[in-house]
Amino acid sequence: MTAKSKQTDVLRFTETTDLTIPTLRILDADGKLRKNAHEPVIDKATALKIYENMAYIRVLDERMLAAQRQGRLSFYLTCTGEEASVVGSIAGFKSHDMVMSQYREQAALRYRGFSSEQFMNQLLSNDLDFGKGRQMPIHYGSHELNYMTISSPLATQIPQAAGYAYGQKLAGKDACTICYFGDGAASEGDFHAGLNMAAVSNCPVVFVVRNNGYAISTPTSEQFAGDGIAPRGIGYGISSIRVDGNDILAVYAASVEARRLALQTNAPVIIETMSYRLGAHSTSDDPSSYRNADEEEIWRQKDPILRMKKWLLDKGWWSDQQDHQLKTQYKKEILDALKSQEKRPSPPLSDLITDVYKTPPLHLRQQYTELLNHIAKYPDHYLPNPNNSGHQSALTQVN
């Protein structure tokens, strides 16, 4: 018997409707403070940094989506519509906290200081790419910015985040881990393993689940029958909160408090942000096949960037002229970075067999030799990179 369970003489099954977690909202869709809502303590500099990063990611997504359609990069995932969920949460953490993300949180990396050139290096897999061309586009990572490299398998970062946070606790660090994932990842087994590990081992990790309505084409109504994802945290003994993911103040306030709780109690916390993916799942997806334009338009009226802009205008911290200048600046910055970094050479071919071992073992060296021999035998199948020469050249396969 659970120690905290009270005894009863009544035969009654607990229904799903017995536990419905409310959604914290501080700002209305028009950017006005809700009646009885408490505005979080946030200074002008932090507020403007948050807004500027949200605006930057919207421009980056628009430019990179266009670049993918032009054939300048192979793949991309946008954050469109979910900027407040990401920027509002990362703003509540410190630069020395570890970030483990899924694949739609490039805004968190930008908030930490990732440059336009660094984004392009990774997306284009050139010789300055931190991943050395061995990752898919949008699989960012930065040791300097405490942003763990993204991996393709869904939800693997959840138990990893619990383990990393446990290590932070053992080391006595005044730091925690923030772990991002979507509602689809919450349907994976790693979600349950990670949450249980975090709860039982008292790991200072904050799980931020972006409930955006769809796991690619599968709506949440077909993923689970319960009241969203936050109640699952309570089932594991984890403090949980649900917030309006398009309300920047609600997300920020919840994140600041979640970090404080995680460090003060050495325990995990869950934040479920209720939002909507305005764009396609990826550049390989067509959302019109599983949702209608009317649904999208309803959520466009709740645009998190526009909501925050109205709040800033009302406070006198921002102007329409500043807004225009900022977005014009970002468009130029991003396009200039794309043009310059796409001219860079690819990583050397030898990078294929480095980094896993201190010295590449015999079997990898043999495979590398076989690859070089194959290239020499069938040179017409490959296009040498004109910026490099010799066996260290990076070669792009054409056929």
Higher pLDDT, 49 or 381: 49
User: Do 35 and 139 reside in the same domain of the chain?
Assistant: yes
The residue from 293, 312, 341 where one domain ends is 341
Q: Is the pLDDT of residue 230 over 60?
A: yes
User: Do 263 and 231 reside in the same domain of the chain?
Assistant: yes
Structural domain includes residue 11: no
β-strands 205-211, 239-244: how paired? unpaired
Task: Kindly state the tokens that stand for 323.
Answer: 């807004």
Structural domain includes residue 334: yes
The residue from 325, 341, 357 where one domain ends is 341
pLDDT of residue 7: 84
User: Do 51 and 178 reside in the same domain of the chain?
Assistant: yes
- Sign (positive/negative) of CA torsion 116, 119, 125, 128? positive
Query: Active site residue: 260, 290, 324, 381, which one?
Result: 290
Measured between alpha carbons, how far is 226 from 220 in angstroms, rounded to an integer? 10
Beta bridge partners, 340, equal none
Measured between alpha carbons, how far is 282 from 270 in angstroms, rounded to an integer? 26
User: Do 259 and 374 reside in the same domain of the chain?
Assistant: no
Residue given tokens 């769809």 in the structure block: 214
Q: Is the pLDDT of residue 272 over 90?
A: yes
Nearest to 249 by CA among 42, 15, 61: 42
Task: Kindly state the tokens that stand for 42.
Answer: 């946030």
User: Do 101 and 120 reside in the same domain of the chain?
Assistant: yes
Q: Is the pLDDT of residue 398 over 90?
A: no
pLDDT of residue 4: 74
User: Do 371 and 224 reside in the same domain of the chain?
Assistant: no
336: which residues sit within 8 A by CB, 6+ positions away?
A: 116
pLDDT of residue 384: 52
Interval 85-121: pLDDT, tens: 999 999 999 999 999 999 999 999 999 999 999 999 9
Q: Is the pLDDT of residue 386 over 80?
A: no
User: Do 87 and 231 reside in the same domain of the chain?
Assistant: yes
Q: Is the pLDDT of residue 396 over 60?
A: no
Task: Kindly state the tokens that stand for 381.
Answer: 């199948």
Active site residue 277: yes
Q: Is the pLDDT of residue 336 over 80?
A: yes
User: Do 320 and 177 reside in the same domain of the chain?
Assistant: yes
Domain with residue 279: its CATH number is 3.40.50.970
Structural domain includes residue 148: yes
Structural domain includes residue 4: no
- Looking at the 3D structure of the chain, how many domains does it have? 2
Query: Active site residue: 58, 110, 281, 307, which one?
Result: 281
Instruction: Note every long-range contact of 58-64, with CB atoms under 8 Å and residues 24 or more positions apart, other chains counting.
Output: 58/83, 58/305, 59/327, 59/330, 59/331, 59/334, 60/106, 60/110, 60/116, 60/119, 60/330, 60/334, 61/279, 63/331, 63/334, 63/335, 63/338, 64/123, 64/334
Domain range for 393: 349-397
Measured between alpha carbons, how far is 4 from 6 in angstroms, rounded to an integer? 7
pLDDT of residue 392: 38
The residue from 308, 325, 341 where one domain ends is 341
Measured between alpha carbons, how far is 379 from 45 in angstroms, rounded to an integer? 56
Q: What is the mean pLDDT of residues 77-85?
A: 97
| Integer angstrom CA distances of residue 282 from 74, 216, 220, 287 | 11, 8, 18, 9
Average pLDDT, the chain: 93
Active site residue 76: no
Of the segments 12-21, 80-89, 356-365, which one has the largest average pLDDT value?
A: 80-89
Are residues 16 and 226 in contact, defined by beta-carbon separation less than 8 angstroms?
A: yes
pLDDT band at 5 (very low <50, low <70, confident <90, very high): confident
Nearest to 341 by CA among 178, 135, 120: 120
How far is C-alpha 193 from the chain's CA centre? 20
Hey, is 54 helix, strand or coil? helix
pLDDT of residue 381: 79
Hey, is 243 helix, strand or coil? strand
pLDDT of residue 2: 54
Interval 285-326: pLDDT, tens: 999 999 999 999 999 999 999 999 999 999 999 999 999 999
Measured between alpha carbons, how far is 162 from 203 in angstroms, rounded to an integer? 6
Considering the entire predicted model, what is its pTM? 0.92
pLDDT of residue 189: 96
Q: What is the mean pLDDT of residues 54-61?
A: 98
pLDDT band at 382 (very low <50, low <70, confident <90, very high): confident
User: Do 69 and 188 reside in the same domain of the chain?
Assistant: yes
Structural domain includes residue 1: no
pLDDT of residue 168: 98
Are residues 248 and 55 in contact, defined by beta-carbon separation less than 8 angstroms?
A: no
User: Do 375 and 303 reside in the same domain of the chain?
Assistant: no
CA angle 166, 113, 144 (to 5 degrees): 45
Active site residue 290: yes
Interval 132-160: pLDDT, tens: 999 999 999 999 999 999 999 999 999 99
Query: Active site residue: 277, 307, 330, 344, which one?
Result: 277
Nearest to 61 by CA among 9, 105, 22, 92: 105
User: Do 295 and 390 reside in the same domain of the chain?
Assistant: no
Q: How large a percentage of the chain has pLDDT more than 90? A: 89
Structural domain includes residue 5: no
User: Do 277 and 368 reside in the same domain of the chain?
Assistant: no
Interval 183-225: pLDDT, tens: 999 999 999 999 999 999 999 999 999 999 999 999 999 999 8
Q: Which amino acid is at 279?
A: G
